[in-house]
Structures are given as structure tokens and as C-alpha cells.
């Protein structure tokens, strides 16, 4: 069997490696348009924080040519897929400037990822405005250089990637950072407002966040800067403007043949199979199911790219039998010296999806009576459905890295469709020197009983 994969990044490499580890004799060819293998787009932040030098940008890549070839994959770098002959199952490819050739396949895997950011009306109307991006190494270097020499920076998008970029400037008080966000608060996709409000108390003075910005104009000024004019006529001028928005899937070579969703992602079934049974798609090209959410979501993250890749590989080898397990949408980040984590859906989304939402919001500060020096701040929010009592989501903001692991515990519980009451059924350790008499999980479980339909005797617990 011949498997041909287009795109040698996180998803494409996951497919190639999984196929070769499960079935070493299967013929796997991987073609990648650049000479990079699995670049981590967050690398720019490591460069701005001085953790990777610009001469060592390759440190931002997860794999090496040797890794992939050692796995037995036939790897073609600097090779672009130009066209697909679906009837005869062949792909027309071109290596650098060489002449074209055709590669045959039994199964084709699309892993072309995403690149140019979603089209903003402001950009369509002003195509000459120089807007920078940083998904791949070349654009990362260019954007890094521009940011280093800018006194004022405008970042369009105050979601996770926009705030992570802004965070890299916390130790540079001489640079002004303007964040432009269309929602009414930053990070709205993963966090409810009160969590973000706690974070906002810690943003540096040289940061300005403009929310509810759906309509604005972008223009070049005569002194070579970029000006954004908001709908209410505020004018924000910066030396450099960076786009930190949801990327757009690279589907142009298949859009005449495969079924697409309205957002441009490729339609796949639960096995990552497209509307053409010989073609699978994964990574940033597809939407995935999210637990407790009625619709599939576009969640372009490395973990999801790999997971969709593994599922595609398995189903190609063994027939369509392994469904994509719904994502808990678990993530964490560090912003302005605070750790934030989220799993499941937010309270806003849960209400929107028709759940009768109960929220428990609690703060914790102490490990144990005898360990005062390790005190911390933790704000924990847990969301469950009043009727079924099923856990729907959890969010934390804390200054203590250890507390962030609570999110992984809730993620596992949400994966198993656990009820909030099960917090009181699991064993948790207790030792007076290292934890309080009532630990966080038990405390949330007890708190949830206030919302129980039946009368419960708290003293029984």
C-alpha cells in the first residue's frame, strides 16, 4: 500500500511516524514545500525572551531530517504538491525549480496546515499596509527584526497567540503595546470574563487593550507608521503591526473536489476521512469534535494536529474503525507572571448550548497550616450541569505552577463524563505537613452539594 502525505509539519509527521511504527512495510512518502519539519510558531516568543537566538531559529523545529528518514519515511523537502488527479490517484509535484513529476497513491493524506490569516475587511480594503505574521520560520525572522526595532507595536487579536506575543514585551517598558480585540474581552474563547479580569490587573502600564473592535480602518502614515482608526474614531499609531488571528486552512489545491465547511476547513467524518474515501485530512485543515459542544470546532493547536494525524493513520491501515475522541480543549499558558489553564467549555458556551449551568468560583491560598512560606494565590472556577451534575469545564488563574495541574485532573474527569459528585468519591492523599485538611478537589465537591436537588447532610461527609 502506498500512502502519500502532503505537508511535513506536526500533523503530516504524526501520520508518517504512526503508520511506520504500526506497519513498517507500508510505503510512506512525505512531501514538504519548505526545508522545515514541524516548526513551533511560538518560537518568536522564545526569541524575544532571549531563550533562542535568531541564528538558531531551527531550535524551534521539533523534528530533524534524520528522525524522519530513520523511521523509514521517503521524505521530499522543498517539494510542493501542485495538483491532484483524483481519478488516477496521482499527485503532480515539483521539487524546487526542477521539472514536475507524478507520484501515485493508494491513500492520500492532506496535512497542508494553515497560513495566511483570516481575511480582515480592513486588510482587503488596504492591501498595501504592511502587516506582519509569524507562523513559519522566514516570516518569524522578519517579524522578530521589526519588533526589536519598534518603539510602538500594534497586535491585532488578543486571543492566546496575541497575548503570548504581548507577554514577551513585559520586561521592555520603553515599548508601547496596543492590542486590538473584536470580542468584549481578551481570551474569550477559553476563559470566562472574571478570570480574565484578574489577569488584566497585572498587565504592564505600557499595554493598552482595545476591545469590541469589529470595524476599523488601517492605513500607512506619511512617516512610515501604521495607523488604525477605530469605529469610534480613536486613532492608534504604531511602528509595526502584527496579525495574531486564527489562521486560514491551506485548501486551494483540493477545494474544487472535496466538500468544505463554511469556514474553509475540509469536511471529515469521525475517522478523518474526507468526502473522497481515498483521501484523509488532518491538523489545521479540519474541525474536531469538542466534548459538550454541539458543533465541531476549529482548534488549530499542535496537540490536535498530532491526534488527528494518529487517527487518520490508524484508519487508513485498519479500515475506518477508530473515531476521533472528542477534545476536552485543555490548554494552559503563562501570561504576566500568572498561569492560566482551561478545560472543557466556558460557562458562557455552556449556557449557549442549553445547559442549566452552575458555577463554583473559589479562591485558595494555603498548602498546609505548617507550610506558610509556600502560600499561593489560586482562583478556581468549576462548571457543571445542575440537572445531570456532569462536569462541563474548569478554569484556573494562579501564581503557582503546581496548581495548574488541577486542570489536567478536571480534563480527565470531563473526558470520562464524570459527575461533580465523583470528586467526593475518589481517594485523595492527606498529610497535615503538606496539605490542608480539606483539599481543593474535596472542597469543590462539598461546595457542589449546595446545588443538589435532594437534601444532603453535610455533616455525614
Write out the residues near ligand FAD by the rule CB under 6 A: 6-12, 31-34, 41-42, 80-81, 111-114, 134-135, 161, 247, 250, 253, 283-284, 300-303, 305
Q: Which three cell numbers stand for residue 460?
A: 455525614
| 117 versus 355: smaller Cβ distance to ligand FAD | 117
* Shortest Å distance, C-beta 178 to ligand FAD: 18
Q: Which three cell numbers stand for residue 353?
A: 448550548
Contact 14, 309 (CB under 8 A): yes
* Shortest Å distance, C-beta 426 to ligand FAD: 29
| 112 versus 268: smaller Cβ distance to ligand FAD | 112
* Shortest Å distance, C-beta 248 to ligand FAD: 10
| 287 versus 364: smaller Cβ distance to ligand FAD | 287
Cα angle 61-164-383, degrees, rounded to a multiple of 5: 110
Instruction: Look up cell 533562542; give the residue.
Output: 52
* Shortest Å distance, C-beta 380 to ligand FAD: 23
DSSP-based three-state secondary structure for 290:
strand
| 65 versus 461: smaller Cβ distance to ligand FAD | 65
Phi and psi at 7, nearest 5°, equal 115, 110
Instruction: Look up cell 489553564; give the residue.
Output: 341
Contact 180, 213 (CB under 8 A): yes
* Shortest Å distance, C-beta 10 to ligand FAD: 4
| 11 versus 316: smaller Cβ distance to ligand FAD | 11
Q: Within 13 Å and on the Cβ side, how many CA atoms surround 362?
A: 17
Q: Is 19 exposed, middle or buried (0-12, 13-18, 19+ CB in 10 A)?
A: buried
User: How far is the CA of 415 from the CAs of 293, 329, 391, 418, in angstroms?
Assistant: 13, 10, 10, 8
Give which of 147, 103, 146 is closest to 4, Cα–Cα.
103
* Shortest Å distance, C-beta 374 to ligand FAD: 29
| 284 versus 385: smaller Cβ distance to ligand FAD | 284
- Which residues have a Cβ under 8 Å from the Cβ of 180 and sit 6 or more positions away? 154, 155, 156, 157, 158, 210, 213, 216, 228, 236
* Shortest Å distance, C-beta 45 to ligand FAD: 8
| 81 versus 391: smaller Cβ distance to ligand FAD | 81
* Shortest Å distance, C-beta 39 to ligand FAD: 7
**Distance between CA atoms of 161 and 320, rounded to whole angstroms?**
35
Contact 249, 265 (CB under 8 A): yes
Contact 11, 35 (CB under 8 A): no
| 39 versus 367: smaller Cβ distance to ligand FAD | 39
Amino acid at each position: 500500500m502506498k500512502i502519500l502525505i502532503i505537508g511535513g509539519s506536526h500533523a503530516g509527521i504524526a501520520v508518517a511516524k504512526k503508520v511506520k511504527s504500526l506497519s513498517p512495510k507500508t510505503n510512506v512518502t512525505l512531501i514538504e514545500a519548505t526545508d522545515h519539519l514541524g516548526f513551533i510558531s511560538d518560537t518568536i516568543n522564545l526569541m524575544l525572551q532571549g531563550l533562542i537566538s535568531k541564528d538558531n531559529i531551527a531550535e524551534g523545529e521539533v523534528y530533524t531530517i534524520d528522525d524522519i528518514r530513520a523511521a523509514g519515511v521517503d521524505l521530499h523537502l522543498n517539494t510542493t504538491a501542485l495538483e491532484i488527479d483524483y481519478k488516477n490517484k496521482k499527485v503532480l509535484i515539483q521539487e524546487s525549480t526542477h521539472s514536475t513529476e507524478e507520484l501515485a497513491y493508494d491513500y492520500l493524506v492532506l496535512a497542508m496546515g494553515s497560513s495566511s490569516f483570516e481575511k480582515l475587511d480592513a486588510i482587503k480594503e488596504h492591501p498595501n499596509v504592511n502587516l506582519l505574521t509569524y507562523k513559519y520560520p522566514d516570516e518569524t525572522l522578519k517579524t522578530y527584526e521589526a519588533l526589536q526595532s519598534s518603539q510602538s507595536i500594534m497586535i491585532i487579536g488578543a486571543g492566546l497567540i496575541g497575548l503570548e506575543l504581548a507577554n514577551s514585551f513585559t520586561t521592555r517598558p520603553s515599548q508601547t503595546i496596543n492590542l486590538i480585540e473584536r470580542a468584549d474581552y481578551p481570551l474569550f474563547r477559553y476563559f470566562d470574563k472574571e478570570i480574565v479580569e484578574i489577569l488584566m490587573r497585572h498587565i504592564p502600564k505600557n499595554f493598552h487593550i482595545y476591545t469590541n473592535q469589529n470595524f476599523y480602518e488601517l492605513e500607512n502614515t506619511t512617516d512610515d507608521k501604521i495607523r488604525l482608526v477605530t469605529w469610534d474614531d480613536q486613532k492608534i499609531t504604531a511602528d509595526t503591526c502584527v496579525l495574531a488571528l486564527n489562521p486560514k486552512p491551506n485548501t486551494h489545491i483540493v477545494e474544487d473536489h472535496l466538500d468544505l465547511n463554511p469556514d474553509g476547513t475540509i469536511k471529515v467524518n469521525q475517522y478523518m476521512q474526507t468526502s473522497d474515501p481515498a483521501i484523509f485530512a488532518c491538523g489545521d485543515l479540519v474541525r474536531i469534535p469538542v466534548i459538550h459542544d454541539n458543533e465541531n470546532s476549529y482548534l488549530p493547536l499542535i496537540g490536535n494536529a498530532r491526534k488527528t494525524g494518529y487517527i487518520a493513520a490508524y484508519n487508513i491501515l485498519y479500515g475506518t474503525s477508530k473515531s476521533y475522541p472528542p477534545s476536552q480543549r485543555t490548554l494552559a499558558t503563562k501570561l504576566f507572571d500568572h498561569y492560566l489553564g482551561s478545560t472543557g467549555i466556558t460557562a458562557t458556551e455552556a449556557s449557549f448550548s442549553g445547559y442549566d449551568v452552575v458555577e463554583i468560583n473559589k479562591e485558595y491560598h494555603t498548602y498546609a497550616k505548617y507550610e506558610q512560606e509556600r502560600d499561593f494565590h489560586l482562583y478556581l472556577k468549576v462548571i457543571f450541569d445542575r440537572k445531570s451534575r456532569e462536569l462541563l469545564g474548569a478554569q484556573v488563574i494562579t501564581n503557582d505552577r503546581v496548581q495548574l495541574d488541577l486542570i489536567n485532573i478536571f480534563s480527565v474527569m470531563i473526558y470520562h463524563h464524570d459527575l461533580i459528585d465523583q470528586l467526593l468519591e475518589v481517594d485523595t492523599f492527606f498529610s497535615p505537613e503538606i496539605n490542608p485538611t480539606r483539599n481543593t478537589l474535596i472542597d469543590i465537591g462539598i461546595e457542589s452539594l449546595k446545588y443538589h436537588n435532594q437534601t444532603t447532610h453535610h455533616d455525614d461527609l
